[in-house]
Amino acid sequence: MFVGDSMTIGSAGEHTWRYRMWRHLRSLGTEGEDFAIVGPRTALYDPTADAAVSQHYADPDFPVSARRHLAGWGEGWLHMAPLIEGAVREHRPDVLLVSLGLIDLGFYTNPGQTEANVRLFVARARAANPRVAAVLLPVIPNSRCDQDPGFGSQCEEFNTRLAKAVADLGTPASPLLLASRPAGYDIARDTYDGTHPNASGEHRLAAAFADAAHQAWGLGAPYRHPLNSA
């Protein structure tokens, strides 16, 4: 189950990194057939409606069953911590792929408060499934970090706290994995507005999760980067 903010839900007309991950899993042949993408939502954010009501994915053949997620425009750890237990209980994911934090730090909580919500999120996910695993992506600094050094420092502090939380909370029964910042990620090249991923950014985000899960747990295979594709 994909859990995230605006970078994960995506906007009308986009592919999303969720789509790139689905394509990657599908490409694995028989190894990629035994998986399902789950979650309570399927929509993209529609800027004209200022709501997640669009099904206008860039590839209309992206199956509805693979569009499922728990992501929201403007939603962070603060918002997902109260939702995750019910979503895990109902949709029964084995693995969570989580990209959250930037919106929290930008609008809602400081690094310490955001870390507390990470820990609450993990506890509530495990209340629904004590064996759930999760791959967590650090906050990727956006263009605001260049313009506001204080905000950049908050992102750095939170990423340090996130790494400690992952180390503290991971167990053999319910492993947690901290993914690396996507290799080669450049906000000038891999985003369309300094925050949200374009096609190359989508591939790099998907690769960060795919490569981490493969290297640490042997799941799937390394991500193949078709970065010249749309």
pLDDT tens, residue by residue, 170-216: 999 999 999 999 988 999 999 999 999 999 999 999 999 999 999 99
> Is residue 162's pLDDT more than 50?
yes
Q: Which of 198, 174, 171 is nearest to 186 (CA)?
A: 198
pLDDT classification of 227: cutoffs 50, 70, 90: low
Q: Quick one: fold of 2-217?
A: Rossmann fold (3.40.50)
> Cα–Cα distance between 98 and 29 in angstroms, integer?
25
For residue 182, the 8-state DSSP code is: P
Domain ranges of the chain: 2-217
pTM of the predicted model as reported, rounded to 2 decimal places: 0.95
Alpha helices by DSSP H, the chain = 6-9, 17-26, 77-91, 102-103, 111-128, 143-147, 149-169, 187-190, 199-217
Residue 156: exposure state from Cβ atoms within 10 A (0-12, 13-18, ≥19): middle
pLDDT in tens, 95-117: 999 999 999 999 999 999 999 99
pLDDT attached to residue 228 = 42
